[in-house]
Amino acid sequence: MPTTPKASRTIAEQIEIDNLLPGGIDTCISDLICFQGEQESIAVVGIDSSGERPLGRWTSINYRGQTVPFMPVARIDRTRKRRKLRLPDSFAFIAGTMKYRRQLPAGPIQTHRIETGFVLGLGSRREIIQFIHNNASGLTGRTSESSWRSFPKVYTWLESRILRRASKIVVFNKEDGERLSRKSNRVKASKTWYNPDVFHFTATPPSPKSVIWVGRLEEQKNPLFALDVLRELLLLEPGARMTVVGDGSFRAAMEDKARNVGVFAALTFAGALPRDSVADAYREHAAMLMTSHFEGSPRVLFESCASGTPVVATAGADQDSILDGFQNGIRVQSPDARQLAEGLLEVFKFDRQLCSISMQANSAALVVPTLLRQTQPS
């Protein structure tokens, strides 16, 4: 596909369609593609990590039955470990997108980071559709691993500019959705969704007294605190076990702490897993634990519950209060390890099929087409 494709919208984000990483933005874009419907034709501007794809050249990728026009504009290896002095990957991606902007399809650009939306909107009449995934106060706060932690005023300034520039703004966080809606009538607060083709209930019983923790092993997700919860759980239920799915800079610290507090024998590190394997892991465990300091609208919560695995979460992990109905889990207000452990004992008894049913309104098959209609170009 050497020529510029026709597209109803072009998503600009530092991803590879055929090499997606576990995480909210990659999964969001994946599902937008899978459930876009006949009225949409989404193209993607992304990155190359292999060093083999030519930059600035459109190719055609088959992804889960959808043919997706894809153009890499920068070479970025997102699996490498972070270095404090390294510039954010978004700088390289934005520079590449600007370099090859003449190859972009006519029509709106959808961005998933405000710095991308801001730069691509400069000096252009092109319509910008902005998706915002994280809570602003969390993203710029002391528990964030984002570069925005060091530049909170810059983030606030960019946010104000996006509110003026973007034609439509989707915010996956209730608190920020309400805050930004008071400033612009173009803001829509949205909950996230799950892919029903991947995350669904089965009648096979899970391993008894087993807990799964899923996420990046970084400060935002508070993985070290999960070990305190496991220690309390083992005092209440000696046969309990926990599986950690994910990877990150806290892996070694988790292993050290697990040994120090005496829970290492009850702990399994599964590493980062493909999406289908994560779904299987949910169904194999009796409960999921979320310990995050903050989230947007956390996809793993929806995916776990849809799989029939109830969730126990800190208040920061469930800022949209998805678990307040007590059908699919328990939201613990205070960050107390004993209370979270007691919550896990409670949800071990939950009806897993009812847990899955409670999520049906959040299926991507229902949510994504509606969201795409609501954000169609002006």
Q: In the prediction, which pLDDT does 123 show? A: 77
pLDDT band at residue 147 using 50, 70 and 90 as cut-offs:
confident
pLDDT at 84 over 60: no
Q: In the prediction, which pLDDT does 363 show? A: 97
Q: In the prediction, which pLDDT does 268 show? A: 98
Count how many Cα atoms sit within 13 Å of the Cα of residue 112 in the half-sphere of its side chain. 22
pLDDT at 81 over 70: no
Q: In the prediction, which pLDDT does 158 show? A: 93
Question: What is the three-state SS of the chain?
Answer: CCCCCCCCEEEECCCCCCCCCCCHHHHHHHHHHHCCCCCCCEEEEEEECCCCCCCCCCEEEEECCEEEEEEEEEECCCCCCCCCCCCCHHHHHHHHHHHCHHHCCCCCEEECCHHHHHHHHCCCCCCEEEEECCCHHHHCCCCCCCHHHHCHHHHHHHHHHHHHHCCEEEECCHHHHHHHHCCCCCEEECCCCECCCCCCCCCCCCEEEEEEEECCCCHHHCHHHHHHHHHHHHHHCCCCEEEEECCCCCHHHHHHHHHHCCCHHHEEEEECCCHHHHHHHHHHEEEEEECCCCCCCCHHHHHHHHCCCCEEEECCCCCCCHHHHCCCEEEECCCCHHHHHHHHHHHCCCCHHHHHHCCHHHEHHHHHHHHHHHCCCC
Name residues whose C-beta falls within 8 Å of residue 261's C-beta, 6 or more positions apart in sequence.
227, 228, 231
Place of tokens 């909107």: 121
Percent of the chain residues topping a pLDDT of 70: 97
pLDDT at 242 over 80: yes
Q: What is the pLDDT of residues 198-234, one digit of tens each?
A: 999 999 999 999 999 999 999 999 999 999 999 999 9
pLDDT at 85 over 50: no
More confident of the two residues 22 and 74: 74
Q: In the chain, what's the furthest Cα-to-Cα distance?
A: 63
Q: Return the C-alpha torsion angle 357, 340, 303, 267, nearest 10.
A: -130
pLDDT at 277 over 60: yes
Please name which of 109, 93, 102 lies closest in space to residue 49, comparing C-alpha atoms.
93
pLDDT band at residue 294 using 50, 70 and 90 as cut-offs:
confident
Q: In the prediction, which pLDDT does 2 show? A: 66
Percent of the chain residues topping a pLDDT of 90: 73
Of 51-55, 108-112, 142-146, 279-283, the one with minimum mean pLDDT is 142-146
pLDDT average, residue stretch 134-144: 79
pLDDT average, residue stretch 317-342: 90
Structural domains in the chain, CATH included, are 9-193+364-374 (3.40.50.2000), 207-361 (3.40.50.2000)
CA 203, 204, 207: angle at the middle one, nearest 5? 135
Q: In the prediction, which pLDDT does 170 show? A: 95
Contact 267, 258 (CB under 8 A): yes
Q: In the prediction, which pLDDT does 88 show? A: 74
Mean per-residue pLDDT of the chain:
91
pLDDT average, residue stretch 309-326: 88
Name residues whose C-beta falls within 8 Å of residue 103's C-beta, 6 or more positions apart in sequence.
4, 56, 57, 58, 71
Angstrom distance (rounded) from CA 180 to CA 371: 18
